[in-house]
Amino acid sequence: MPETSVVTISRFLLGEERRHPHATGAFTNILHDIAVAAKIISREVNHAGLVDILGRAGSENVHGEDVQKLDVFANDVLYRALDHTGHIAVLASEESEDPIPIPEEFPSGEYVVLYDPLDGSSNIDVNVSIGTIFSILRKVTDGERGTLEDCLQPGTEQLAAGYVLYGSSTMLVYTTGAGTHGFTLDPSIGEFLLSHPNMLIPDPPTKVYSVNEAYFDRWSPGQQRLVSHLKGRAGFGSRYIGSLVADVHRTLLRGGLFMYPGDSKNAQGKLRLLYEAAPMAMVLEQAGGAASDGRGRLLEVQPTSLHQRIPVYLGSTPFVEMADRFLAEDAKN
Protein backbone atom coordinates (compact mmCIF):
# COMPACT_ATOMS: atom_id res chain seq x y z
CA MET A 1 0.00 0.00 0.00
CA PRO A 2 1.55 3.35 -0.96
CA GLU A 3 2.18 5.63 2.02
CA THR A 4 -0.25 8.31 0.73
CA SER A 5 -3.29 6.00 0.87
CA VAL A 6 -2.90 5.54 4.64
CA VAL A 7 -5.76 7.26 6.44
CA THR A 8 -5.11 8.05 10.10
CA ILE A 9 -8.03 8.44 12.46
CA SER A 10 -7.33 12.20 12.71
CA ARG A 11 -7.53 12.60 8.95
CA PHE A 12 -10.71 10.53 8.81
CA LEU A 13 -12.33 12.57 11.61
CA LEU A 14 -11.47 15.83 9.86
CA GLY A 15 -12.99 14.50 6.63
CA GLU A 16 -16.19 13.65 8.51
CA GLU A 17 -16.23 17.09 10.15
CA ARG A 18 -15.99 18.86 6.77
CA ARG A 19 -19.20 17.15 5.72
CA HIS A 20 -21.00 19.07 8.48
CA PRO A 21 -20.68 22.76 7.60
CA HIS A 22 -21.78 23.94 11.08
CA ALA A 23 -19.41 21.68 13.00
CA THR A 24 -17.31 23.52 15.57
CA GLY A 25 -14.61 20.88 15.79
CA ALA A 26 -15.46 20.14 19.43
CA PHE A 27 -16.92 16.78 18.62
CA THR A 28 -13.92 15.80 16.49
CA ASN A 29 -11.69 16.80 19.38
CA ILE A 30 -13.54 14.53 21.82
CA LEU A 31 -13.16 11.50 19.55
CA HIS A 32 -9.53 12.39 19.04
CA ASP A 33 -9.00 12.62 22.81
CA ILE A 34 -10.63 9.21 23.30
CA ALA A 35 -8.30 7.76 20.65
CA VAL A 36 -5.28 9.19 22.47
CA ALA A 37 -6.51 7.72 25.77
CA ALA A 38 -7.02 4.37 24.02
CA LYS A 39 -3.39 4.35 22.90
CA ILE A 40 -2.19 4.93 26.47
CA ILE A 41 -4.50 2.23 27.85
CA SER A 42 -3.40 -0.14 25.06
CA ARG A 43 0.24 0.33 25.97
CA GLU A 44 -0.48 -0.50 29.59
CA VAL A 45 -2.70 -3.49 28.75
CA ASN A 46 0.10 -4.90 26.61
CA HIS A 47 2.41 -4.65 29.60
CA ALA A 48 0.01 -6.55 31.85
CA GLY A 49 1.77 -9.86 31.20
CA LEU A 50 4.91 -8.39 32.73
CA VAL A 51 3.10 -7.78 36.00
CA ASP A 52 5.16 -10.36 37.93
CA ILE A 53 8.32 -8.63 36.82
CA LEU A 54 7.16 -5.05 37.12
CA GLY A 55 4.98 -5.38 40.23
CA ARG A 56 1.37 -6.23 41.10
CA ALA A 57 -1.48 -3.80 41.63
CA GLY A 58 -1.39 -2.36 45.12
CA SER A 59 2.37 -2.90 45.42
CA GLU A 60 5.33 -0.80 44.37
CA ASN A 61 7.06 -1.53 41.08
CA VAL A 62 10.81 -1.72 40.53
CA HIS A 63 10.91 2.06 40.14
CA GLY A 64 9.33 2.51 43.58
CA GLU A 65 6.07 3.73 41.98
CA ASP A 66 2.63 2.54 43.09
CA VAL A 67 1.16 0.04 40.62
CA GLN A 68 -2.50 0.76 39.91
CA LYS A 69 -5.09 -1.81 38.92
CA LEU A 70 -5.53 -1.60 35.18
CA ASP A 71 -9.20 -0.65 35.33
CA VAL A 72 -8.45 2.16 37.76
CA PHE A 73 -5.61 3.27 35.50
CA ALA A 74 -7.85 3.21 32.39
CA ASN A 75 -10.53 5.18 34.23
CA ASP A 76 -7.98 7.80 35.21
CA VAL A 77 -6.56 8.09 31.70
CA LEU A 78 -9.98 8.70 30.15
CA TYR A 79 -10.95 11.22 32.80
CA ARG A 80 -7.71 13.17 32.38
CA ALA A 81 -8.05 13.09 28.59
CA LEU A 82 -11.52 14.66 28.76
CA ASP A 83 -11.90 16.78 31.92
CA HIS A 84 -10.07 19.97 30.90
CA THR A 85 -10.93 20.45 27.23
CA GLY A 86 -13.96 22.71 27.62
CA HIS A 87 -16.03 20.41 25.39
CA ILE A 88 -17.59 18.25 28.10
CA ALA A 89 -20.42 19.14 30.50
CA VAL A 90 -20.33 15.95 32.57
CA LEU A 91 -18.76 12.48 32.45
CA ALA A 92 -19.94 9.10 33.74
CA SER A 93 -17.98 5.89 34.20
CA GLU A 94 -18.70 2.34 35.27
CA GLU A 95 -16.11 2.95 37.98
CA SER A 96 -17.92 5.89 39.63
CA GLU A 97 -21.27 5.71 41.35
CA ASP A 98 -22.36 9.23 40.42
CA PRO A 99 -21.82 11.40 37.34
CA ILE A 100 -18.34 12.92 37.35
CA PRO A 101 -18.45 16.73 37.28
CA ILE A 102 -15.95 18.77 35.29
CA PRO A 103 -13.66 20.51 37.83
CA GLU A 104 -14.63 24.14 38.48
CA GLU A 105 -11.28 25.41 37.18
CA PHE A 106 -12.08 24.12 33.70
CA PRO A 107 -14.78 25.40 31.34
CA SER A 108 -17.85 23.27 30.72
CA GLY A 109 -19.00 22.24 27.24
CA GLU A 110 -21.94 20.90 25.28
CA TYR A 111 -21.27 17.16 25.37
CA VAL A 112 -21.62 14.22 27.74
CA VAL A 113 -19.32 11.18 27.61
CA LEU A 114 -20.22 7.89 29.29
CA TYR A 115 -17.69 5.06 29.41
CA ASP A 116 -16.70 1.67 30.68
CA PRO A 117 -12.95 2.25 30.88
CA LEU A 118 -11.87 -1.40 30.89
CA ASP A 119 -14.60 -3.96 30.41
CA GLY A 120 -13.90 -7.62 31.11
CA SER A 121 -10.94 -6.83 33.31
CA SER A 122 -11.23 -10.21 35.08
CA ASN A 123 -9.91 -11.63 31.78
CA ILE A 124 -6.57 -9.81 32.06
CA ASP A 125 -4.90 -12.52 34.12
CA VAL A 126 -5.53 -15.11 31.42
CA ASN A 127 -4.49 -12.86 28.53
CA VAL A 128 -7.96 -12.68 26.98
CA SER A 129 -8.96 -9.57 25.00
CA ILE A 130 -10.64 -6.75 26.89
CA GLY A 131 -11.99 -3.37 25.83
CA THR A 132 -13.10 0.20 26.45
CA ILE A 133 -16.65 1.25 25.53
CA PHE A 134 -17.88 4.85 25.09
CA SER A 135 -21.03 6.80 24.29
CA ILE A 136 -21.33 10.53 23.47
CA LEU A 137 -24.50 12.56 24.02
CA ARG A 138 -25.42 16.23 23.77
CA LYS A 139 -26.14 18.09 27.02
CA VAL A 140 -29.89 18.68 27.26
CA THR A 141 -30.29 20.62 30.51
CA ASP A 142 -30.03 24.42 30.72
CA GLY A 143 -27.50 24.86 33.52
CA GLU A 144 -23.87 25.60 32.79
CA ARG A 145 -22.66 22.23 34.07
CA GLY A 146 -24.05 18.81 33.14
CA THR A 147 -26.19 16.70 35.48
CA LEU A 148 -27.47 13.14 35.88
CA GLU A 149 -30.40 14.07 33.64
CA ASP A 150 -27.98 14.74 30.79
CA CYS A 151 -26.67 11.19 31.17
CA LEU A 152 -30.10 9.51 31.25
CA GLN A 153 -30.93 9.72 27.54
CA PRO A 154 -32.09 6.83 25.38
CA GLY A 155 -29.56 5.30 22.97
CA THR A 156 -31.31 6.89 20.01
CA GLU A 157 -29.90 10.24 21.24
CA GLN A 158 -26.28 9.11 21.05
CA LEU A 159 -24.21 11.31 18.75
CA ALA A 160 -21.45 8.75 18.64
CA ALA A 161 -20.58 5.44 20.22
CA GLY A 162 -17.81 2.92 19.95
CA TYR A 163 -15.31 0.64 21.55
CA VAL A 164 -11.63 -0.12 21.67
CA LEU A 165 -10.61 -3.78 21.58
CA TYR A 166 -7.26 -4.66 23.12
CA GLY A 167 -6.77 -7.93 21.26
CA SER A 168 -4.06 -9.45 19.10
CA SER A 169 -4.07 -5.95 17.70
CA THR A 170 -5.73 -2.88 19.20
CA MET A 171 -8.76 -1.69 17.24
CA LEU A 172 -11.00 1.33 17.64
CA VAL A 173 -14.47 0.94 16.15
CA TYR A 174 -16.95 3.81 16.20
CA THR A 175 -19.99 5.36 14.60
CA THR A 176 -21.35 8.88 14.46
CA GLY A 177 -24.55 7.64 12.86
CA ALA A 178 -23.09 7.50 9.36
CA GLY A 179 -21.85 3.92 9.23
CA THR A 180 -19.47 2.02 11.48
CA HIS A 181 -15.73 2.37 10.88
CA GLY A 182 -12.78 0.44 12.28
CA PHE A 183 -9.19 1.55 12.84
CA THR A 184 -6.22 -0.63 13.76
CA LEU A 185 -3.41 0.72 15.92
CA ASP A 186 -0.02 0.55 14.22
CA PRO A 187 2.19 0.45 17.32
CA SER A 188 5.33 1.26 15.33
CA ILE A 189 4.03 4.75 14.51
CA GLY A 190 1.47 5.07 17.32
CA GLU A 191 -1.43 5.82 14.99
CA PHE A 192 -4.88 4.33 14.48
CA LEU A 193 -5.14 3.63 10.74
CA LEU A 194 -8.40 3.13 8.87
CA SER A 195 -8.56 -0.63 8.29
CA HIS A 196 -12.31 -1.35 8.19
CA PRO A 197 -14.27 1.48 6.50
CA ASN A 198 -18.07 1.10 6.41
CA MET A 199 -18.24 -2.16 8.32
CA LEU A 200 -21.26 -4.28 7.51
CA ILE A 201 -22.37 -7.36 9.42
CA PRO A 202 -22.12 -10.24 6.87
CA ASP A 203 -25.19 -11.32 4.95
CA PRO A 204 -25.74 -14.23 5.03
CA PRO A 205 -24.38 -14.31 8.57
CA THR A 206 -22.42 -17.10 10.20
CA LYS A 207 -24.78 -19.20 12.31
CA VAL A 208 -23.20 -18.67 15.69
CA TYR A 209 -24.83 -17.95 19.04
CA SER A 210 -22.93 -16.48 21.94
CA VAL A 211 -24.22 -16.74 25.50
CA ASN A 212 -23.11 -18.01 28.90
CA GLU A 213 -24.97 -21.31 28.81
CA ALA A 214 -24.03 -22.16 32.40
CA TYR A 215 -27.04 -20.06 33.40
CA PHE A 216 -29.48 -22.24 31.37
CA ASP A 217 -31.45 -23.42 34.42
CA ARG A 218 -32.11 -19.82 35.49
CA TRP A 219 -33.45 -18.74 32.09
CA SER A 220 -37.11 -18.17 31.19
CA PRO A 221 -38.86 -20.90 29.14
CA GLY A 222 -38.66 -18.68 26.00
CA GLN A 223 -34.91 -18.15 26.41
CA GLN A 224 -34.36 -21.87 26.99
CA ARG A 225 -36.43 -22.77 23.91
CA LEU A 226 -34.51 -20.21 21.84
CA VAL A 227 -31.11 -21.71 22.63
CA SER A 228 -32.39 -25.28 22.30
CA HIS A 229 -33.76 -24.34 18.87
CA LEU A 230 -30.51 -22.67 17.78
CA LYS A 231 -28.30 -25.61 18.70
CA GLY A 232 -30.83 -28.15 17.49
CA ARG A 233 -32.85 -27.68 14.34
CA ALA A 234 -31.32 -24.32 13.40
CA GLY A 235 -27.83 -25.88 13.28
CA PHE A 236 -25.91 -23.09 15.00
CA GLY A 237 -22.38 -23.29 16.38
CA SER A 238 -21.43 -21.60 19.65
CA ARG A 239 -18.73 -19.11 20.67
CA TYR A 240 -18.54 -17.27 23.99
CA ILE A 241 -15.47 -15.44 25.24
CA GLY A 242 -17.04 -13.77 28.28
CA SER A 243 -15.54 -10.42 27.35
CA LEU A 244 -18.18 -8.14 25.87
CA VAL A 245 -16.03 -6.14 23.47
CA ALA A 246 -14.43 -9.29 22.03
CA ASP A 247 -17.78 -11.10 21.72
CA VAL A 248 -19.43 -8.09 20.06
CA HIS A 249 -16.47 -7.53 17.73
CA ARG A 250 -16.65 -11.14 16.53
CA THR A 251 -20.42 -10.80 16.07
CA LEU A 252 -19.91 -7.62 14.02
CA LEU A 253 -17.28 -9.21 11.76
CA ARG A 254 -18.83 -12.67 11.37
CA GLY A 255 -22.51 -12.21 12.12
CA GLY A 256 -24.48 -14.28 14.62
CA LEU A 257 -26.41 -13.62 17.82
CA PHE A 258 -24.88 -12.37 21.07
CA MET A 259 -27.07 -12.66 24.16
CA TYR A 260 -26.84 -11.65 27.79
CA PRO A 261 -30.37 -12.47 29.00
CA GLY A 262 -32.09 -11.66 32.22
CA ASP A 263 -32.65 -14.71 34.45
CA SER A 264 -34.27 -15.78 37.71
CA LYS A 265 -31.31 -14.44 39.72
CA ASN A 266 -30.67 -11.23 37.78
CA ALA A 267 -33.89 -10.17 36.08
CA GLN A 268 -32.08 -7.53 34.00
CA GLY A 269 -28.97 -9.62 33.30
CA LYS A 270 -25.55 -8.12 33.92
CA LEU A 271 -24.77 -5.60 31.21
CA ARG A 272 -25.24 -1.88 31.81
CA LEU A 273 -27.54 0.05 29.53
CA LEU A 274 -25.77 3.38 29.24
CA TYR A 275 -22.12 2.54 28.69
CA GLU A 276 -22.20 -1.10 27.55
CA ALA A 277 -25.45 -2.05 25.81
CA ALA A 278 -26.53 1.21 24.13
CA PRO A 279 -23.17 2.04 22.49
CA MET A 280 -22.81 -1.54 21.23
CA ALA A 281 -26.38 -1.41 19.91
CA MET A 282 -25.64 1.76 17.92
CA VAL A 283 -22.43 0.30 16.47
CA LEU A 284 -24.30 -2.85 15.40
CA GLU A 285 -27.29 -1.01 13.95
CA GLN A 286 -25.01 1.27 11.96
CA ALA A 287 -23.35 -1.84 10.54
CA GLY A 288 -26.70 -3.24 9.35
CA GLY A 289 -27.37 -5.38 12.43
CA ALA A 290 -29.91 -5.04 15.22
CA ALA A 291 -30.10 -4.89 19.01
CA SER A 292 -32.97 -5.65 21.35
CA ASP A 293 -33.62 -6.05 25.05
CA GLY A 294 -35.75 -9.06 24.18
CA ARG A 295 -38.88 -6.93 23.95
CA GLY A 296 -38.02 -4.26 21.41
CA ARG A 297 -35.34 -1.96 20.06
CA LEU A 298 -32.70 -1.51 22.75
CA LEU A 299 -31.82 2.02 21.66
CA GLU A 300 -35.33 3.23 22.49
CA VAL A 301 -35.19 2.21 26.14
CA GLN A 302 -35.44 5.27 28.38
CA PRO A 303 -32.84 4.95 31.17
CA THR A 304 -33.91 5.68 34.73
CA SER A 305 -30.60 5.28 36.55
CA LEU A 306 -26.93 5.62 35.69
CA HIS A 307 -25.85 2.02 36.25
CA GLN A 308 -29.06 0.26 35.26
CA ARG A 309 -28.74 -3.19 33.71
CA ILE A 310 -30.58 -4.52 30.69
CA PRO A 311 -30.94 -7.85 28.86
CA VAL A 312 -29.05 -7.72 25.55
CA TYR A 313 -29.63 -9.47 22.22
CA LEU A 314 -27.54 -8.14 19.37
CA GLY A 315 -26.15 -9.20 16.03
CA SER A 316 -27.59 -10.20 12.67
CA THR A 317 -31.08 -8.74 12.26
CA PRO A 318 -32.95 -11.99 11.46
CA PHE A 319 -31.45 -13.67 14.53
CA VAL A 320 -32.31 -10.77 16.84
CA GLU A 321 -35.86 -10.84 15.49
CA MET A 322 -35.98 -14.58 16.11
CA ALA A 323 -34.90 -14.01 19.72
CA ASP A 324 -37.67 -11.44 20.18
CA ARG A 325 -40.23 -13.93 18.84
CA PHE A 326 -39.18 -16.68 21.26
CA LEU A 327 -39.12 -14.24 24.18
CA ALA A 328 -42.54 -12.83 23.31
CA GLU A 329 -43.95 -16.23 24.35
CA ASP A 330 -42.73 -15.54 27.90
CA ALA A 331 -44.75 -12.34 27.99
CA LYS A 332 -47.92 -14.28 27.07
CA ASN A 333 -47.50 -16.72 29.97
* Interface positions with ligand AHM (CB under 6 A): 119-121, 212, 242-244, 260, 270
The verdict on 116 binding Mg ion (CB under 5 A) reads yes
DSSP code of 274? I
CB of 240 to ligand AHM, least distance (A): 7
Torsion of CA 132, 316, 326, 214, to 10 degrees: -40
Least distance in Å: CB of 78 to Mg ion?
Answer: 13
β-strand 111-119 against 130-138: which pairing, if any? antiparallel
| DSSP H helix total and E strand total for the chain | 9, 13
Question: How far, in whole angstroms, is CA 27 from its chain's centroid?
Answer: 18
Closest residue to Mg ion, judged by C-beta, is 119
Write down the least CB distance from residue 198 to ligand AHM, Å. 26
Cα–Cα distance, 233 to 130 (Å, whole number): 33
**Which CB atom, from 29 or from 251, has the smaller least distance to ligand AHM?**
251
Query: What single string gives the DSSP state of each residue in 249-269?
Result: HHHHHH--EEEE---SS-TT-
Nearer to ligand AHM, 118 or 282 (CB): 118
Report, in Å, the least distance between residue 26 CB and ligand AHM: 29
226, exposed or middle or buried, with CB in 10 Å at 0-12, 13-18, 19+? buried
Choose among ligand AHM, Mg ion, none what residue 302 binds, the Cβ cut-off being 5 to 8 Å by kind: none
Shortest distance (Å) from residue 28 CB to ligand AHM? 29
The option from ligand AHM, Mg ion, none interacting with 242 (CB < 5 to 8 A, set by class) reads: ligand AHM
Q: Rule CB under 5 A: choose which of 119, 150, 285, 293 binds Mg ion.
A: 119
DSSP class of residue 69?
P
Q: In the complex, which residues of this chain contact Mg ion (CB under 5 A)?
A: 116, 119
